[in-house]
Amino acid sequence: KKYQWELRFCQEVLDELHKPKYQLIAWAFYQPVDPVALNIPTYHSVIKKPMDLSTIQSKLKTGQYENAKEFESDVRLMFKNCYRFNIAGDPTYAAGQQLEAVFDEKWEQ
């Protein structure tokens, strides 16, 4: 199908974000935010649509993305959530900015 190569590129970009060289800035995004573990009980009242790299990976593997646009909007949602919940200048906010820059670089390659 014509979207096959698009989705193959999405996997390539996702693999890039998981590379060890980005671990320092990506690790907070590997798994869903755990409000209990992180002691942020307000998280789910602030963030209506949580998103993270493991959820994106499973959606890609189970054919839940029709095309690259749908994949990209989940990646952007993940970063928007990070900027909405975290405070500019905080480590996680800065990590999100840096990881989004890596994504942008690879995405528009």
Ligand X SMILES: Cc1ccc(Nc2c(-c3ccc(O)cc3)nc3c(C)cccn23)cc1
Binding residues for ligand X, per CB under 6 A? 28, 33, 38, 40, 81-82, 85-86, 92
For residues 49 and 77, the answer to whether their CB atoms sit within 8 Å is: yes
How near is the Cβ of 7 to ligand X at its closest, in Å?
Answer: 25
How near is the Cβ of 75 to ligand X at its closest, in Å?
Answer: 13
* Residue (24 or 38) nearer to ligand X, CB: 38
* Residue (7 or 103) nearer to ligand X, CB: 103
How near is the Cβ of 106 to ligand X at its closest, in Å?
Answer: 20
Q: Kindly calculate the radius of gyration of the chain based on its CA atoms and give it in whole angstroms.
A: 14
How near is the Cβ of 27 to ligand X at its closest, in Å?
Answer: 7
The DSSP code sequence of 10-62 is HHHHHHHHTSGGGHHHHGGGSS---TTTTT-TTHHHH-SS---HHHHHHHHHT
* Residue (17 or 82) nearer to ligand X, CB: 82
Collapsing DSSP to helix, strand or coil, 88 comes out as coil
**Rounded distance between C-alpha atoms, residue 80 and residue 4, angstroms:** 27
* Residue (54 or 67) nearer to ligand X, CB: 54
H/E run at residue 107? helix 91-107
